Amino acid sequence: MTISRQLSSQLNASSLNPRRISPRGVRRSLLLLCCSLIALGCASTVQQGSHCSVEPGFLDSRDTFQWREGKAIRVIDETGYISPAIVAELETEVLRELQAKGFVLSESMQAGQVDTGLQLQLTLRLRREIDSTNVYGEELGACRDPFCLRSPTDPGVRFLTRTVGFLAADAYFDGKPIWRGWVERTLHPSERDNAGAVIGEALPLLFKDFPP
């Protein structure tokens, strides 16, 4: 029997016979409710989006690109989890994803020459948020202020620290931005040491609408 079914059964039984409600039963119900909320909170939802400022088919005649400013990925890490190895793996997988879409890194860039045609740059950001939820399952919202770490006056409020990953790809043509794709999701502790799986899930979504 699942936690939610146990909780439902106990609450239904209590409502049919009020005399069966006891402090111990109330505590058990609240404990089961909290466990249910924690279990529901473990599911990560990937958010994805894109924006384009050119007509469809604008890049049909292009099959090469360069990294903007000679750098593939800008890293903004507020957690300390992003290692050079993760950045290198991400760059390799991005090249593979773009190659599957018909775009390869230009030989001119490999030779140190600058091409002002199609340029790409990725931004990888990792941050921590403090998320609060009351015992009724109502999310009170994320907070990044240090004061959120103080003990709440309401004992029914639960505070959790979560890590949020954000990855964006920006495309430029002749120096002007023409497209951005992005993905964002919550990262759980087990996923922080399994970057390959997270990258493999993120990149198809990141380039879902590329080329514009």
Domain residue ranges in the chain: 1-43, 44-206
Residues in the chain with pLDDT < 50? 1-21, 25-43, 146-147, 149-151
Query: Which residue reads 């990560």 in tokens?
Result: 44
According to the model, what pLDDT value does residue 15 have? Answer: 43
Tell me the three state secondary structure of residue 47. strand
According to the model, what pLDDT value does residue 134 have? Answer: 57
Could you report the per-residue pLDDT of 61-110, keeping only the tens digit for each? 999 999 998 899 999 998 888 999 999 999 999 999 999 999 999 876 55
Task: Report d(CA 151, CA 40) in Å as an integer.
Answer: 23
Tokens of 15: 């409502």
According to the model, what pLDDT value does residue 122 have? Answer: 97
Q: Radius of gyration over alpha carbons of the chain, in Å?
A: 24
For the domain made up of 44-206, the CATH class stated in words is alpha beta
Closest listed residue to residue 210, CA positions, set 99, 76, 115? 99
According to the model, what pLDDT value does residue 123 have? Answer: 97
Task: Report d(CA 149, CA 143) in Å as an integer.
Answer: 9
